Amino acid sequence: MKNFCVDIKPYEYYLSKADGNLAKVAELISDDFCECWWTNDKYSEDREEYKDFAVTHTSALKTAIASYIKKLYFYEF
């Protein structure tokens, strides 16, 4: 999850705000990341590919994670 905090607040901020509850950490990151995903040029390719699936506030983070894993997988081969 730390990889997706680069353009928002530090991961440790979310960890402390959620009192160490990792599910809550993910929810807080997802809330802030949604705005970033829709507006930051860094995610323009993902937006174009996945915008039809971005129907909830958690969709942006989920698609970014999927894209990250996809890139890691193809990078290894």
In this prediction, residue 73 carries a pLDDT of 81
Structural domain span for residue 35: 2-76
Q: What is the rounded (10 degree) CA torsion for 29, 34, 38, 40? A: -10
- Residues found in the chain: 77
**33 in Cβ contact with 4 (< 8 Å):** yes
- What's this model's pTM, rounded to 2 decimal places? 0.82
The domain total for the chain is 1
| pLDDT, one tens digit for every residue, the chain (77 residues) | 899 999 999 999 999 999 999 999 999 999 999 999 999 999 999 999 988 988 998 999 999 999 999 888 876 55
